[in-house]
């Protein structure tokens, strides 16, 4: 995380009067200032399309929000290749096997949504409060949809430090833990580039990725999967059993036990 002396200034805004009360509630919950107009680096805005995060200023990449009903996420749900997708193979989806997966670095929830769409039972953790707020809002808006509501019902979210939460885990251990730590050099698709530009000042790079991997290996019953840029080094620590490599990403798989139906 960034040094607090360099912490970006963040305000909360309502995009229309009817959203003011709910926006003020978000501000109070997140410990941020509600301000209609104020010089700041970022604005968390609430409007008709839900909660969005906007970097203010002339070089803004535009707002980012979580939408499981339309856009790229919906398209991937309908046309993404089903259980043939590399992420599905990486976590062990196969005939008769839909593992219980903890996504410990949930981000905007896209990968978790793909796995939930395929029938996996999920748990999500996101430690950055603003990103978790965007994800919580997207999940809440999707919950009322007749089709997508059943998918997001398999995606309960916790906000907090995944290393601590995994260390204090109560109840059934996840069969698979999925990690996608922030990395300095991500692939250059326009969408990822936009989000990385927006989130980098808020999140920084995950310097504690080795500790995250170690905690995941201690908790998972069957395997840990780490998503990396294709040419990135493996995370320091235990060596993966094998990897699946795509055009821009790679999945390092740490096999602990065979997943069987």
Binding residue positions for S-adenosyl-L-methionine: 110-111, 126-127, 180
Residues belonging to the binding site are 110-111, 126-127, 180
246: tokens are 């795509």
Burial of 185 (0-12, 13-18, 19+ CB in 10 A): exposed
Choose among 144, 142, 110, 143: nearest CA to 126: 110
Please report how many Cα atoms fall inside a 13 Å half-sphere around the Cα of residue 67, on the Cβ side: 15
- Closest by CA position to 200, among listed 55, 51, 32: 55
Contact 107, 126 (CB under 8 A): yes
How far is it, in rounded angstroms, from Cα 187 to Cα 17?
39
* Ranges assigned E (strand) in the chain: 10-14, 33-34, 42-47, 50-55, 100-103, 121-126, 157-159, 176-179, 223-229, 242-245, 249-255
Which single residue is written with the structure tokens 């003011």? Answer: 20
Rounded (10°) angle between helices 129-142 and 190-203: 130
Helical H runs in 31-147? 71-79, 86-91, 110-117, 129-142
């Amino acid at each position: 995380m960034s040094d607090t002396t360099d912490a970006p200034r963040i305000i909360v805004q309502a995009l229309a009067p009817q959203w003011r009360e709910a926006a003020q509630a978000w501000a109070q919950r997140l410990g941020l200032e509600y301000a209609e107009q104020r010089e700041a680096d970022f604005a968390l805005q609430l409007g008709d399309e839900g909660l969005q995060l906007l970097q203010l200023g002339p070089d803004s990449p535009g707002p980012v929000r979580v939408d499981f009903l339309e856009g790229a996420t919906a398209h991937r749900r309908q046309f993404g290749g089903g259980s043939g997708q590399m992420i599905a193979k990486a976590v062990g989806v196969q005939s008769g096997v839909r593992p219980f997966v903890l996504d410990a670095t949930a981000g905007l929830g896209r990968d978790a949504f793909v796995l939930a769409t395929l029938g996996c039972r999920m748990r999500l953790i996101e430690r950055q409060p603003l990103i978790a707020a965007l994800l919580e809002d997207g999940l809440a808006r999707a919950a009322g949809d007749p089709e997508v509501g059943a998918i997001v019902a398999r995606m309960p979210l916790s906000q907090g430090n995944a290393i601590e939460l995994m260390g204090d885990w109560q109840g059934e251990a996840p069969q698979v833990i999925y990690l996608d730590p922030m990395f300095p050099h991500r692939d250059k698709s326009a969408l990822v580039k936009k989000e990385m530009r927006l989130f980098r000042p808020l999140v920084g790079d995950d310097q504690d990725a080795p500790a995250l991997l170690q905690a995941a290996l201690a908790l998972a019953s069957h395997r840990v999967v780490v998503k990396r840029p294709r040419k990135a080094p493996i995370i320091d620590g235990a060596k993966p059993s094998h990897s699946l490599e795509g055009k821009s990403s790679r999945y390092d798989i740490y096999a602990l036990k065979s997943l069987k139906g």
